[in-house]
Amino acid sequence: MTYDATTLLIYCCAFLLPVAILICLSLFVLTRGLHSLENRLIAFICCCYMVSFISIFFAHLQPTIHPYLTNYVHAPIGILSLSALMHLAYWLIRNLNQVRIPFAPFIFYAPAAAVFIGAFFAPLPTTGFENGNIWLQNTMTPFISLVYSLSAILLLGLLGFASYIALKIRRGIQKKMFYYFSSVLIIVIGAFYTVEWLLPPQTTFPFMSMYIQVACILAVGAGMVHLELSPSIANRYRELITVAPIGIVILDHEFRISEINDNAREPIEQYGVENIVHQLFFNDLSLNHSGSIYDLLTKRGILTNHIVRMEDPFSDDAYFLSVNASILEEEHHYFYYLSYFDMTEEMKQQQRLHQLAYEDQLTHLPNRAYFIPKVTNLINTLKMGTLILMDLNSFKQINDTYGHKIGDYVLQFTAQLLRDAAQPTHELARLGGDEFVLYLPDSNEAFAMRFVDDLRTRFVSNPFQYEDLSFIISPSIGYAIVHADVSAHFEYYYQLADDAMYVDKQRIKKARDL
């Protein structure tokens, strides 16, 4: 059979143009994520309709094969595509609302299975061009009538399913889905009936239901992009950032903020988001001054549980953040991923526990539990220093005469005098009672003698005063020099300092007696 150029052009536009559109749609959704079931379903439905359109196209070119293509290809594939469309709608809604239907998704494919089986037992329809029409027309066999009925039922079921969910669930995305499906169905059906009504009888188009179904597929594809009915990997990643319970910031290769969620923005918004994020990234705010996050990332590539101390610009307070960071590479550009959460309360709790464990509660000096391990490590590492031991003469008499309250004040006064005398590198502690200890790293005997003389001078020139009470505190002081060529433990030097302090105490006692 021969066709003029106009008829062939109409056939190409009617059947092959939708195929091209469906190919583009299937490739588009697959590029959004091959592992996503909804994307694979969309691509599968597109393939089904492509097979249907191609089979109808060849049937119009070779009308003798049209009855076979109708029964064995077009009818089963059409029902299969509608079944997959139902499966897609169910999957999208189930993901959003945890809706469950018994025997789903297999129940959706039962009509397609029935049509596939029935096609082999159904009589072939007769076909031909009627009244000069360019479209092939089938006789209405019971099998074709059943297929049309199933198509209508599945389309109405799809619309009803979306409507039920939209009315049942009040979240916005389900309503968007309902509006999409219902609007497209109504518009497309209305458009085709209008076109049929306007066209002459000999130009009626018999494949309206297929175009309605394809319009539904295109609507779903558009919804996936504009309404995010099925978010892409990037959108899911962005959604994950949004709902994450911690602050997340992504900087691009030029260190501009590419993504930031509310948990990252809200705590620092009043200080200037860009300024604080760059301060966090480029300044050395670590507790041990190990370097900025940028420097550490450049060296290591990843950071975990990195604690930084941030100053509040509007007060003298500080807050602590626990930061995780890594470098991401995409299209030869580096991106910097930061996640952090507020550790201020945890750090304050740790400080309180540390104070209870390693701080003397009366004088707020370090205690024995802190001092001995610390100085032991210094002795083993530096191999040079001075251990100074000191207690207060007649402290028991002070307690007995003036009471323990005054005794406590004397201990606090002594602790402050020692703080004033000590340098930042010196270790200082109260060992218990009226016994105090200092360690002077990298010091020799000459420095130790000057330091001890300075201590005695401080006590003489700064008498203890409380209301009308005033007296000079007399300390006994002994020290031991830590030598690099002597391998000994803390206890050894402590004993030497204790012996020297005892000698000093006896000297002071004899001088007092004289």
Domain map (residue ranges) of the chain:
5-230, 244-348, 359-513
Residue labelled with tokens 């005054």: 406
- pLDDT tens digits along 427-475: 999 999 999 999 999 899 999 999 999 999 999 999 999 988 999 999 9
Our separate counts of H helices and E strands in the chain read 19, 13
Confidence of residue 85 (pLDDT cuts 50, 70, 90): confident
Banded pLDDT at 126 (limits 50, 70, 90) = confident
Confidence at residue 217, expressed as pLDDT on a 0 to 100 scale: 67
The CATH number assigned to the domain with range 5-230 reads: 1.20.1070.10
Residue 238: per-residue pLDDT: 65
Q: How is residue 88 written in tokens?
A: 């897609």
In sequence order, which residues have a C-beta less than 8 Å from that of residue 379 and are 6 or more positions away?
Answer: 385, 482, 488, 489, 490, 493
Question: 458-478 burial string, b = 16+ CB within 10 Å, else e?
Answer: ebeeeebeeeeeeeebebbbb
- The kind and range of the H/E element at 268 are none
Q: Is the peptide bond before 105 cis (omega within 30 degrees of 0)?
A: yes
Q: For 209-222, what is the mean pLDDT?
A: 66
> Model confidence over 396-422: pLDDT tens digits?
999 999 999 999 999 999 999 999 999
Return the pLDDT at 103: 73
In this structure, how many other beta carbons lie within 10 angstroms of the beta carbon of residue 417? 18
In 3-state terms, what secondary structure has residue 103? Answer: coil
Segment 283-327, tens digit of pLDDT = 888 878 888 888 888 888 888 888 888 887 777 778 888 889 988
Q: Which residue has the higher pLDDT, 28 or 364?
A: 364
User: Rounded distance, CA 105 to CA 99, Å?
Assistant: 12
> Would you say 112 and 154 are in contact if contact means Cβ atoms under 8 Å apart?
no
Nearest alpha-carbon partner for 389 in 431, 429, 437: 437
pLDDT value of residue 197 = 64
The reported pLDDT for the residue numbered 469 is 92
Q: Which of 129-138, 297-306, 358-367 has the highest mean pLDDT?
A: 358-367
Q: Please, which residues bridge with residue 99 across strands?
A: none
In the numeric block, the tokens 């549980």 are attached to 305
Predicted confidence band of residue 260 (pLDDT cuts 50, 70, 90)? confident
Helices (H), 229-363: 233-243, 262-265, 273-282, 293-300, 344-358
Tokens representing 170?
Answer: 């009040």
Mean pLDDT computed over 57-71: 82
What distance in Å separates the CA atoms of residue 193 and residue 204, rounded to the nearest whole number? 10
Retrieve residue 2's tokens: 């021969």
Average pLDDT score, the chain? 80
Q: What pLDDT does residue 155 have?
A: 72
Residue carrying structure tokens 């304050």 = 348
Q: Can you tell me the mean pLDDT for 258-273?
A: 80
Q: Give percent of the chain with pLDDT exceeding 90.
A: 24
Cα–Cα dist 435/93, whole Å = 74
CATH node for 359-513:
3.30.70.270
**Closest residue by Cα to residue 208 from 129, 176, 199, 178:** 199
Least confident segment among 10-19, 137-146, 281-290: 137-146
Q: What's the CA gap between 388 and 378, in Å, rounded? A: 14
Sheet (strand 475-482) strand order? 427-432, 435-441, 385-392, 475-482
**Banded model confidence at residue 499, pLDDT cuts 50, 70, 90:** very high
Taking only the tens place, the pLDDT of each residue in 156-171 is 777 666 665 555 554 4
Which pLDDT value is given to residue 393?
93
Instruction: Give the tens place of pLDDT for each residue, 330-340.
Output: 656 788 888 88
Backbone φ/ψ region at 428: left (φ over 0), alpha (ψ -120 to 50), beta: beta
Most confident of the ranges 136-145, 188-197, 211-220, 469-478: 469-478
pLDDT at 315: 73
| CATH top class, domain 244-348 | alpha beta
**What's the burial of 307, exposed, middle or buried (CB within 10 Å: 0-12/13-18/19+)?**
middle
Helix, strand, or coil (residue 477): strand
String of DSSP letters for 162-192: HHHHHHH---HHHHHHHHHHHHHHHHHHHHH
Per-residue pLDDT averaged across 32-43, rounded?
74
- Tell me, what's the pLDDT at 388? 96
